[in-house]
Amino acid sequence: MTSQEIKSLTNQYVMNTYGRSDVAIDHGKGAKLYSPEGREYIDFTSGIGVCDLGYGNEAWADAVYQQAKKVGHTSNLFYTEPCARLAEKLCKRTGMSNVFFASGGGEANEGMIKLARKYSFDKYGKGRATIITLKNSFHGRTMATLTATGQERFHNYFFPFVEGFRFAEANSMDSLKETAGDDTCAVMMELVQGEGGVLPLDQEYVSAVAKLCAEKDWLLLVDEVQTGVGRTGSLFAFQQYGILPDVCSFAKGIAGGLPMSGIMANEKCRNVLTPGTHATTFGANPVCGAAALVVQDVLTDEFLQEVQKKGAYLREQIEAMDLPCFGKTRGLGLMIGIEVAEGYENGKLAAALADAGLLVLTAGPGMRLLPPLVITKEEMDAGLAIMKKTLS
């Protein structure tokens, strides 16, 4: 099919819920994507932080193929090897204790919310179920995670929303203390707010929140759906912040492009969810597990240091361009935000870049870059050259 045919068919038969860019993708290699007509794009999006190994990775594709031939799905009524090994790896590399696997980020956060409420219910009974989240956060599109998302524009149309969420200002302990109370069971946050605009939380604030949570026996829930799996230059962002959450969620990059997510609990929370209290049909799919094991093999400590260097390089180069439409950059590792100057619109800048052969994302009012973690210097330079030429 041609790009035009794919677009018309999609617009006719797929619900119109996404602001798609005017690009159809047929295949890719490394950090490059190609349209059906062979038009090349440098990819600074990874499919919203998912394809950490880029495209056409042989080891990844082979693992998927081999596992698909053996057994593609079994349900959680039986044991299979890939996710057992993956869970072990994740726990050993982070100090967490056990894992529950699901399929999407919103679904993982639902599990985290349920775990926090059950922990509190088991120990303190009813009436202590409120979860404090941060303003500007994003936690998903299910009813509870939409409610938990601390942005007013998401709290529309779908009334009634779920009870038991309140919002505190990020980076303010005063706001957290004012917002929380006797009814609180947990604090949930992203360490770098992604959709909200790539806003890293202050180290001091994160340490203080962890300390207060421990004192009050509020669970500290860290949403690492976007920051997790190497994106910020450590396997999980909480490792750079020097905290151990009670529960943390992951999704996007975990299986390098297949739908997989999950939550990890620390020792205190390892037995909160019990048989019959939580489940999902597609969770712990062996093909996704096999793909995720390849991702784990690639993300060695040395590789993660490279991710930090690549992120620093991209930010330096972008700031050195001194483009009229851009302000400062911010972020952690290969999760990069760029301020957009007054008088420019991030969506229009992204469209102009796509036209010129560079794919980027927006977040909040700014731009967001989430390149494949395997991106090479040549690919970064090719993307930067397009950026400079198009936006100068």
- Interface with ligand PLP by CB under 6 A: which residues? 104-106, 109, 138-140, 190, 194-195, 223, 225-226, 251-252
Chain residue whose CB lies nearest ligand PLP? 105
We find the least distance from the C-beta atom of residue 275 to ligand PLP, in angstroms, to be: 25
The span from the CA of 370 to the CA of 361, in Å, is: 8
CB of residue 191 to ligand PLP, shortest distance in Å:
10
Tokens 């790539």, residue located: 198
C-alpha separations of 234 from 47, 137, 257, 285, 334 in Å: 20, 21, 19, 25, 10
Nearer to ligand PLP among residue 82 and residue 197 (C-beta): 197
CA distance 268 to 245: 10
Q: Report the residue number, 221 or 325, with the smaller CB distance to ligand PLP.
A: 221
Question: Which residues make Cβ contacts (< 8 Å) with residue 91, sequence separation at least 6?
Answer: 97, 98, 99, 264
Nearest alpha carbon to residue 140 among 48, 20, 273, 244: 48
Smaller CB separation from ligand PLP, 240 or 357: 240
Choose between 193 and 386: whose C-beta lies nearer to ligand PLP.
193
Q: Which DSSP state fits 216?
A: H
Nearer to ligand PLP, 370 or 386 (CB): 370
Closest approach of ligand PLP to the CB of residue 40, in Å: 27
Pick between residue 224 and residue 339 the one whose CB is nearest to ligand PLP.
224
Query: In terms of CB distance, is 130 or 226 closer to ligand PLP?
Result: 226
CB of 137 to ligand PLP, least distance (A): 8
> Which is nearer to ligand PLP, 227 or 266 (by Cβ)?
227
Closest listed residue to residue 25, CA positions, set 9, 40, 44, 45: 40
Helices (H) and strands (E) counted in the chain, each on its own, are 13, 17
Rounded Cα distance, 300 and 321, in Å: 32
The answer to whether 173 touches 215, Cβ cutoff 8 Å, is: no
Comparing C-alpha atoms, which of 100, 93, 165, 99 is closest to residue 129? 165
Q: What is the DSSP string of 259-279?
A: --EEEEE-GGGTTSS-TTT--
Please, what is the minimum distance in Å from the beta carbon of residue 385 to ligand PLP?
29
CB of 350 to ligand PLP, least distance (A): 18
Minimum distance of ligand PLP from residue 219's CB (angstroms): 17
CB-CB neighbours of 187 under 10 Å = 26
3-state secondary structure of 365: coil
Q: At its nearest, how many Å lie between ligand PLP and the CB of residue 62?
A: 25
Q: Which neighbouring-strand residues pair with 192?
A: 200
